Structures are given as C-alpha cells and as structure tokens.
Amino acid sequence: MPVPARTVVGPGGATVSLPGQTASASTADYPTIVAADYVFGCMATNGQSRTALEQCSCSFDVTASLISYVDYVEASTFLSMGQVSGEKGVLFNSSARAKEAVGNLRRAQAEAEVRCFE
C-alpha cells in the first residue's frame, strides 16, 4: 500500500492529491539533494516514467521515515567504501557496525519496496 498522498489546495479552492509527497519530520531531516539522488537512482533502475517517479518518491519517503539521515549516511558510506578493493575495503564490509548499518538500510528499503512497488 503506497504512502498516503498529501492534498494541496490549488487556485479557486481545487484540491490536488500529490502521491509520494508526505511531509514529515523524518524526510525534512534529509537534504533535498539526497532525496533527489535517491529518486534519480531508483528511476534509473525502475524506468524513467511518471509511475516510476511516484513509486521512487514513495520509496524515499518510507525509507526516510524508517532510518535517520545520520544512519542513512553511515550505511551509504559503508556501502561505498566496501567497494574499495583489497584490505581497505574489507574493513568496511566486515565490521559488526558496518553489517548492522547496512542491514538497517536494506530492511528500510525492503519495507519501502513492499509499500510502494506492489
């Protein structure tokens, strides 16, 4: 079930429903560039359509509601640095903290997929 849409009052009192537009304290913690990067990356994987835009925006909202921005950055850093080859990359993949942070992010994204893409 997608995240509920927010209703906006337009000119003349007309209401417009905006899917994937859930204003919340959790999404407000994320910088706009991070939200845009998440949605662009998601759309690159899921297609460049209006439906993909709505689903990916929803996915970001759900993920942001389940994991703080600080935890998101930490997990993203572990994922990026874990791609470094050799001994240095292993340090970012094998620590308990790295596994926990990445696991939390993956669980949040899995929940977002269930809510937004099915």
In order, the DSSP letters of the chain are -PPPPEEEE-GGG-EEEETT----HHHHTS-HHHHHHHHHHHHHHH-SSHHHHHHHHHHHHHHHHHS-HHHHHHHHHHHHHTTS-SHHHHHHHHSHHHHHHHHHHHHHHHHHHHHHH-
Nearest-angstrom CA–CA distance, 113 and 115: 6
At 37 the pLDDT is 96
What does the pLDDT look like over 94-112, one tens digit per residue?
789 999 999 999 999 999 9
pTM (global) more than 0.75: no
**pLDDT tens-place string over residues 27-77:** 779 999 999 999 999 999 999 999 999 999 999 999 999 999 999 999 999
Residue with the larger pLDDT of the pair 63 and 15? 63
